[in-house]
Structures are given as structure tokens and as C-alpha cells.
Amino acid sequence: MTKLFTLFLLCTCCLSAHAALDPGQVLQLANEDSSVKVAAIQKMTEAADPDAARVLKAMADGQLFLSANKVVVIDGDKAFDASTGEPIKMPGNPDSITVNNRIRGELANALAALSLFDKDVGVRLASAQELQTRVSPDLVPVLARALAKETDNAVKALLKMAHAQANLGNADPAARLAAVRVLSGSSSPNIRSALLPLTDKAKEPDNKVRYGAISAVKAIDGRLELTENLARVFSGLSLGSILLLAALGLAITYGVMGVINMAHGELLMVGAYSAYAVQSIFRSYFPNAIDWYLPAAIPVAFFAAALVGVVMERTVIRWLYGRALETLLATWGLSLVLIQAARIVFGAQNVEVSNPSWMSGGIELMPNLLLPWNRLVIIGFALFVLLLVWVLMNKTRLGMFVRAVTQNRAMAGCVGVPTSRIDTMAFGLGAGIAGLGGLALSQISNVGPDMGQGYIVDSFMVVVVGGVGQLAGAVWAALGLGIFTKLLEGWAGAVIAKIAVLVFIIVFIQKRPQGIFALKGRVIE
């Protein structure tokens, strides 16, 4: 009985002990021939041994050496036998093992494949993602074993794609055809590139595989075109949100006072520099709360731009009502003054306004379609500002006065509306909204003295197309022009797109001079 128990313990110990790596195979890693090294790396990878991962990681980190015909790992002041992992005496003059670019690529593939057997699902997911861009046919057995053991659906889906990519180099046409069929459902440009060689008769002799690859490439091209168009639409929504914020204030001032404010773009610039100033204050005095500088900059940008707008209205524009050409020239002069003031205060070069950490990254809907958080936040912010303006214009006394002056200034004055004060308040409100537009613009564009010049013409186009004083018209015109412009840029280029948009607006104004939504009131009749 005692002998049987002793034998059981010995068997248990033998089963639980981890077998060391083959010293001869490890020694091949030090061979001068790169092909021998590659073959050794591939054999160690196929074994899916944790000790193999340890040795290959040391080789990738430059910690693998050859000493007295034995491969050792030297980590700082400690040395280990590469085959067994046992500590050894520090060798006298070890020779480093050369790792060229070819070996480095093989090591990266091998380590990614070995990480597929890690207990942590996050490590397995990262490894599967890494293998989407580079995978060799030699990894087919390892990927098959990892796929059979995998329980997480996200990792399993990636492993299926990697296994199929590896099988594209399989000698069996049936395996290649099966791989092509799996990959045909992808939307990745990398997989398209991997399939492209199989469409060439010189490289793919099997007709079924070649025709399948051609069909798969066409299917992927269709999905890539769709995602590119979706990306353009999203970029157009982002541009339209900026135009909306810029045009809302212009629609109010132009509708109330009929002023063509050529300095409106510089009010965007004031809002953007306000964000830069608040960011600088947070960096100097509140570095631990730097991620919250943007919410703090919202009221600063609004009131700074509103104050500049009130000063402009009180000092210059007030004396030029009813004289459109003089107003245009005067506001153009004010824009030059504001640009030069920005150059004196902040310098002629662009300044850095960084995104908070919570606006970094994005949502990946498809392999080549990423929705950045900063643009998503800007779209949401524009809609929030639009809601506030709608409430102000339709649910408050100030909004009622503004709408009255817009529809019939003389009649509004006769019934007691202080038109002069409404002019100042409306101009300040419009300028403040433009400041919020500049704040949003600072998160996706450079901040400099001339940044507002590129938006003034587009803002006026939004106002004219949407209809004077109409918030709904401004929304539709801003988003429509933004999406239309980005789609045309993708198909015809930025210059042709700009010309086409201008021609469209000219034709539109000829056919419908009142805009999308006509303003109701006796003054129009």
C-alpha cells in the first residue's frame, strides 16, 4: 500500500512539472542563418508553450545571448538558462544574438500568437487585433488551437479573420477558397490588400479561388465606399454644427438690424482665444483639473464675444443703420482691428488649444469609420445651444421683442418696444453665440488671428439660404451645406466643391429669394 502511494505521488509530480524547452531548438535561435532562426521561432510558436513566450520575449528585448554553446537570458545583473529558466552564474563574455527586421517581424507575430492563450481576455483581444494587420501561413495551427479554445465572442470573431488570412497562403485550394469566403464579409482595407494578389492569374492558378477573390474584393470595395460616404456625412454634420453656431448669431443681428457684419468671423476668433486663455489659467493654477477647462470656458467665451459685440454696436454700428454699404465697410475695418489686436496680445502664430482627455479617441463603427469624440461633443453642443436660443426666442419677453423688431421695426416702436436697446441686446446675443462657435471650433481647428475669415462667407450663405430670422431655416441650411460640401469634396475636390456650392446658392436665391422658410409678417406682404 505504501509503495502504491509513493508511486502515485511520483506520477503526480511528473505530470505537474513543466517540461523544459528543447535546448537544441533554443540553440537554433543563435544561428547566424536567419532562415534557421525563423524556423526555430515557428516551431516554438506552434508548441504554444509559456516558456517559449518567455524566451522569444527576451529575444525581442535584446536579452538573449550565446555563451559556451548555450543560450542564456541576461536581465540586468541576473542570468538564466534559456531552456530551463533556472538561474545561472553570470557568463564572462557572452555574444549577443542578432535580431534583424525579418526576425523582429517573426517575433512580433509569434508573441502575438502566444498571447492568444493568456488567461486575461483583454490580452487575448489585443493580440487578436494585432494579428489582423500581419499574420503568416505558419500560424495556422496555432490560430486553429486558439480558435477552438476561445470563449469570448469578440476575440473569436477576430481569430476567425486572422485564421482565414493565414490560410490565404495555404497550398490547398479548398482551404484558400474557404478563407476567401470568410474574408469577403470584411470591411477592412488591410484584408482587401491581402485578397488583391489572389485576383491575379499569375499568382493564383485556381479559377475558383481567383473568381472568389475578385468577388470578395468587389464586395469589400462597396462597403468601403459606403463607410467613406458615411464618414463624409459625419464630417459634414460636424462642419454644419460649426456653421450653425456661427450663423445663429448672424441670423439674429442681420434679421433685427439688417447689418451685414463682416467682423462676425472675428467674434468666432474671440471665443476661440477665450478657450485658450482659460486653458492657460488652468494649466498654471489648476493643473489637476485641466480636463475641466472647457466647461469653464463656455461662459467666458460667450460673455467675452458678447462684450466685444456690444462695444462694436454702441461705438460704430449704431450710427450707420440703414446705410448698408457704409456698415459693410465699417465692420470690415473692425475685423482688421480685431485681427491686429489678437496679433498684438497673443502673437501672430497659431496657439495650441488641446482637447480634454474625455474628448480624446472615438467610437469605431467599422474598421475605417471612426467617429471622434471631439466632433460628437461639438454636434451635441451645437444642438444644446440651438435649444437654448429657441427657448429664448419663443418663450421669453426678450425673444418676443426681437421677433417683433425683426418683423416690423416701426410698429414695434409704436407699441412701446425699446428698439434701440433691443438692437444692442440682440447684437450682444448674436456675438456671444458666435463666441460659442469659436469655442467649439478651437477643438478641431487651429486657433489664430485669421481663423474667422474662412467662415464669414459660409455663415452669410447659411443665413440667406435658410431665411432671415428663421432658426429652422438656419439649421437646415447649415447642416445641408455642411454635408453637401463634404460630399462634393470627396468626389470632386475642395476647390470644385466650393464653386459648385456657390453656384447652387446663386441659383437658389434667384428661384427663392426669401430662403427656405419665408418670414411671416405685414412687412413682407
pLDDT of residue 504: 79
- Quick check: 228 pLDDT over 90? no
% of the chain surpassing 90 pLDDT: 17
Burial pattern 461-491, b for ≥16 Cβ within 10 A else e, equals: bbbbbbbbbbbebbbbbbbbbbbbbbbbbbe
Helix (H), strand (E), coil (C) string for 432-497: HHHHHHHHHHCCCCCECCCCCHHHHHHHHHHHHHHCCCCHHHHHHHHHHHHHHHHHHHHHHCHHHH
Using an 8 Å Cβ cutoff, are 115 and 123 in contact? yes
- The whole-chain average pLDDT of the chain stands at 83
Question: What integer is the mean pLDDT of 31-44?
Answer: 86
pLDDT for 395-453, tens place per residue?
888 888 887 887 777 888 888 888 788 888 888 998 999 999 999 989 888 899 988 88
- State how beta strands 95-96 and 362-366 pair: unpaired
How far is C-alpha 265 from the chain's CA centre? 26
Cell of 122: 483583454
pLDDT of residue 264: 86
* Residue 430 CB partners (closer than 8 Å, separation 6+): 248, 249, 250, 251, 252, 253, 264, 309
Task: Please name which of 125, 128, 181 lies closest in space to residue 159, comparing C-alpha atoms.
Answer: 128
- Quick check: 333 pLDDT over 60? yes
Provide DSSP, 23-49: HHHHHGGG-S-HHHHHHHHHHHHHHT-
pLDDT of residue 278: 94
Cell of 63: 536579452
pLDDT of residue 338: 92
pLDDT of residue 297: 94
- Quick check: 282 pLDDT over 90? yes
Choose from 9-23, 118-132, 250-264 the range with maximum mean pLDDT: 118-132
Question: What integer is the mean pLDDT of 276-292?
Answer: 91
Q: 216 falls in which pLDDT band (50, 70, 90)? A: very high
pLDDT of residue 274: 94
pLDDT of residue 343: 93
- Quick check: 18 pLDDT over 60? no
pLDDT of residue 3: 43
- Provide the β-strand partners of residue 80: 73, 87
* Residue 220 CB partners (closer than 8 Å, separation 6+): 184, 186, 187, 188, 191, 192, 195
- Quick check: 103 pLDDT over 50? yes
Longest dimension (CA), the chain: 116
Question: What integer is the mean pLDDT of 280-293?
Answer: 91
* Residue 381 CB partners (closer than 8 Å, separation 6+): 241, 436, 440
Using an 8 Å Cβ cutoff, are 273 and 343 in contact? no
**Lowest mean pLDDT: which of 299-308, 374-383, 447-456?**
447-456
- Quick check: 129 pLDDT over 60? yes
pLDDT of residue 491: 76
114/179: higher pLDDT? 179
Domain segments of the chain: what residues?
19-103, 134-205, 242-457
Q: 16 falls in which pLDDT band (50, 70, 90)? A: very low
Provide DSSP, 272-296: HHHHHHHHHHHHHH-GGGGGGHHHH
Q: 295 falls in which pLDDT band (50, 70, 90)? A: very high
pLDDT of residue 14: 40
404/284: higher pLDDT? 284
